[in-house]
Structure 1
Amino acid sequence: MPDETPERYTVVSADCHAGADLLDYRPYLPSRHHEAFDAWAAAFVHPFADLLAPEATRNWDSDRRVAELEEDGIVAEVVFPNTVPPFFPSASLSAVQPTAEEFELRWAGLQAHNRWMEDFCSRAPGRRAGTFQILLNDVDAAVAEVRRCHAAGLTGGLVLPGAPPGAPVPELWSSVYEPLWAVCAELGVPVNHHAGSASPVLGEEPAARAVFMVETTWFSHRALWHLAFAGVFHRHPGLKLVLTEQGSGWIPGVLDMLDYYHQRLVGAATRAATAESKFGAGLAELMGEGPRAAWERNCFVGASFMRAHEVLLRDRIGLDKIMWGSDFPHDEGTYPFTIEALRTSFADVPYDEVAAMVGGNAARVYGFDLGALDPIAAKVGPLVADVARPLAEPPVGATSPVFAKGSSVRVW
């Protein structure tokens, strides 16, 4: 006799953000950097209003955070960075890779954040998969930090920086990064690539800001085809790449496009007399199977505030690939209207499929123990019956794109 459907969903957010209050990073820095930190902190002006308002404490107040997430139906989270770490001009996710002159202090600042993240996750055992950050300027140092953070229990994995055109580091397809892929595959460390981390600096003119919004997710998508065409997934079949807060509706079409180019270039390589033959030379040996096979074996999507039109594509994306995220505590996130957001996206979807997308897949990728989380969810998780009811109107005051007009029908 089949098991009965649980009364509530166990929700694991695959995309949340946290960080220390500015001065609280100081103890996590080597003492030789304290004087430089004091000078930097005294002159620093927060670039984001939400890091000044009373709401900012949900970035580092562990008890408040657990309470608010539970009120919103969420029992566990993958934690990405949010506040500005020492010696950075802005949030580390969006900062370009440093110059050689900037490297020492920036690297110390990121390592301080990583050590803070270890302590923050330890305050809610089993309920936070903390991510950790690296820089691409020194691959050996990055590999050592992967090993250290993995041993320290940061199960959220590596946050892979972007390398946009013009950056002072090679693009992600470069063979210089092979030791990084190797150590992540060896240790089973997920490689996360979060939106906003790969865009070039465009400036502050109105057009530049608009272009940034149009292009930022596309620049983040590039990690997929860089690693695929570099043969990274062929050499490391156990490597996990997670593309987070980049949408998901783009995936089927991009996979079609990547497979087209793969087949075209591999085929051209066998016709030496053609102009295209040089573009495909060596590609078959480097990649093995095509990009779609790599997606099916190696890749996942952190589908923040997933919209209804994206849910309709779940079979083409891969039901086992999709990990819903709330983007807490950002104002584009679903808090405090997560149940309404789930109703908007998943009302007509079978229970088993919803359960996989809102919790089961993330538990598998990031190592959460559902046996320990299910009893908590049995008290605070969204009711299955509630999620099954379509939402007629968005709640008043909701700011998440999941509630945007037309989000249920538009395909990006």
Structure 2
Amino acid sequence: MTGPRDGAVTAGRYTVISADCHAGADLLDYRPYLARAHHDAFDAWAATYVNPYEDLLADTADRNWNSDRRLAELEADGIVAEVVFPNTIPPFFPSASLLAPAPTREEFTLRWAGLRAHNRWLADFCALAPGRRAGVAQILLNDVDEAVREVRRAHAAGLTGGILLPGTPPGSSLPELHSTVYDPLWAVCAELGVPVNHHGGSASPPLGHEPAARAVFMVETTWFSHRALWHLCFGGAFQRHPGLRLVLTEQGAGWIPPVLATLDYYHARLTTSRAQLDSAEAKFGAGLGVRAPSAYWRENCFVGASFMRPHEAPLRHRIGIDKIMWGSDYPHDEGTYPHSREGLRAAYAGLPREEVAAMVGGNAAVVYGFDLRLLDRIAARVGPTATEIAEPLTEPPAGATSPVFATGAAGRAW
């Protein structure tokens, strides 16, 4: 893609696609999607499982699986389509799969069965709203051949959101993402045009349960998620697989220009040293390709800029107008629902319409294969108007919990 989508404001309304939403089945509803051989193990696991997440126990938990409620609430929020990441607990997992990337040998078979059950459920869930949901399939990295088979199966089942790439946090025992052991995975994703999504929070190591752990997690978690970018760049994944696409979701967007500058600096420094064989740094440049990381960003990478903050929008040209995909993070508390229109105003008021149109929907349509002819017709009925989004937000909506409305260093004084 070379630029933002042209003519993306239909009947004066934006076609808004959320590039970051979450869904999953209610716990017992996963059972029909498991092979019969796993039913007894599932019954035993489910009978003693205690869900650790308050939002999955609340009366609003059905937003994850109630298709009609979900469509109605998203439309009321001005959103016509969504990229669907996991949220509920898949079978045989102790917690959300984002936080459990590396099962033991004993757990491996059941964990794989649980993720496949989620993927099968998600394909059916997306089929309830044809053309409006791009489901993201889950995989494990312990067995790359199994991961490749699941990518092909999920793609054939109609999950157009690509795959959720697990993290490889310290202590996971998994090879790091720069390893060539993952080349078969990158190859099949490039072959099928399957986006590789790396979601924030999916690569952090355990930090314990002391009171400070949550604050430390907030400081470190996005950095651990960012690592996928330089691992794939320096590991040569994009060089060997030019069609590979990496999407970094719910990790913010303002970090991208300075990090690319840092990566380019090290790339130039180490490749120069490699050419000077008497340099003490020459050995550190071994294996690096000739292209700078910023070149791979321009050609292979995108950002799922969930609830994009006001201070990030001025960086849009440095990030790339055609790289940014806004997300509401529905149904999470930190998401913008039911104030997505105000969230869009906070980030994009006063910007050129064609740029806003690209960031709120046009780019996601290209990356995830949405049919804009279908979605434009829905947006003409429910989408936010261009005039509305152009109006600066002067104060946050009452009861809003999304960080996009926060004050402070990364927010604004309302």
Same fold (TM over 0.5): yes
For 2:75, the equivalent position in structure 1 comes to 70
Q: Which letter maps to 1:233?
A: F
- Displacement of 1:5 in angstroms is 6.8
**2:303 aligns with one of 292, 301, 304:** 301
Contact 2:308-2:404 within 8 A present in 1 as well: yes
**1:365 aligns with one of 361, 364, 367:** 367
1:185-218 residue CA offsets vs partner (Å, 9 max, x unmatched): 0110000000111000111111222111110010
- Displacement of 1:255 in angstroms is 0.2
> Given the alignment of the two structures, is residue 169 of structure 1 paired with residue 174 of structure 2, yes or no?
yes
For 2:399, the equivalent position in structure 1 comes to 397
For 1:60, the equivalent position in structure 2 comes to 65
For 2:3, the equivalent position in structure 1 comes to none
Over the matched positions of the two proteins, sequence identity in percent amounts to 73
> Given the alignment of the two structures, is residue 157 of structure 1 paired with residue 159 of structure 2, yes or no?
no
Contact 1:234-1:288 within 8 A present in 2 as well: no
Contact 1:203-1:209 within 8 A present in 2 as well: no
**Secondary structure, aligned partner of 1:405:** coil
| Partners of 1:194 and 1:5 in 2: CA distance | 31
Task: Report the RMSD for the aligned CA atoms in angstroms.
Answer: 1.3
> Given the alignment of the two structures, is residue 186 of structure 1 paired with residue 191 of structure 2, yes or no?
yes
Q: How many residues align structurally?
A: 406
- Displacement of 1:408 in angstroms is 6.1
| Partners of 1:185 and 1:323 in 2: CA distance | 20
For 2:127, the equivalent position in structure 1 comes to 122
Matches within 5 A, 1:192-271: 192-271=197-276
Contact 1:72-1:337 within 8 A present in 2 as well: yes
- Displacement of 1:409 in angstroms is 5.5
| Partners of 2:283 and 2:243 in 1: CA distance | 30
| Partners of 2:315 and 2:392 in 1: CA distance | 18
| Partners of 2:347 and 2:410 in 1: CA distance | 8
Contact 2:101-2:140 within 8 A present in 1 as well: no
**Secondary structure, aligned partner of 1:363:** helix
**1:14 aligns with one of 5, 12, 19:** 19
> Given the alignment of the two structures, is residue 355 of structure 1 paired with residue 357 of structure 2, yes or no?
yes
Q: Which letter maps to 1:292?
A: S
For 1:328, the equivalent position in structure 2 comes to 330
For 1:142, the equivalent position in structure 2 comes to 147
**Secondary structure, aligned partner of 1:396:** coil
Contact 2:10-2:379 within 8 A present in 1 as well: no
> Given the alignment of the two structures, is residue 388 of structure 1 paired with residue 393 of structure 2, yes or no?
no
- Displacement of 1:406 in angstroms is 3.2
Contact 2:310-2:346 within 8 A present in 1 as well: yes
| Partners of 1:10 and 1:23 in 2: CA distance | 35
Contact 1:14-1:77 within 8 A present in 2 as well: yes
1:353-391 residue CA offsets vs partner (Å, 9 max, x unmatched): 000000000000000001111011001001111111111
Provide the TM-score with structure 1 as the length reference.
0.97
1:280-307 residue CA offsets vs partner (Å, 9 max, x unmatched): 1232xxx231100000000000000000
For 2:96, the equivalent position in structure 1 comes to 91
Contact 2:309-2:411 within 8 A present in 1 as well: no
| Partners of 1:354 and 1:19 in 2: CA distance | 30
Task: Give unmatched runs, 5+ long, in structure 2.
Answer: 1-5
Contact 2:197-2:247 within 8 A present in 1 as well: yes
Q: Which letter maps to 1:66?
A: L
| Partners of 1:83 and 1:409 in 2: CA distance | 30
**Secondary structure, aligned partner of 1:14:** strand
> Given the alignment of the two structures, is residue 110 of structure 1 paired with residue 115 of structure 2, yes or no?
yes
Contact 1:98-1:168 within 8 A present in 2 as well: no
| Partners of 1:175 and 1:263 in 2: CA distance | 22
- Displacement of 1:131 in angstroms is 0.5
Contact 1:309-1:407 within 8 A present in 2 as well: no
Task: Give unmatched runs, 5+ long, in structure 1.
Answer: none
| Partners of 2:172 and 2:402 in 1: CA distance | 31
Aligned structure 1 segments of 4 or more residues deviating by more than 3 angstroms:
2-6, 406-410
Q: Which letter maps to 1:346?
A: Y
- Displacement of 1:93 in angstroms is 1.4
Q: Which letter maps to 2:249?
A: T
Of the structure 1 ranges 160-169 and 396-405, higher mean CA displacement relative to structure 2 is found in 160-169
**Secondary structure, aligned partner of 1:90:** coil
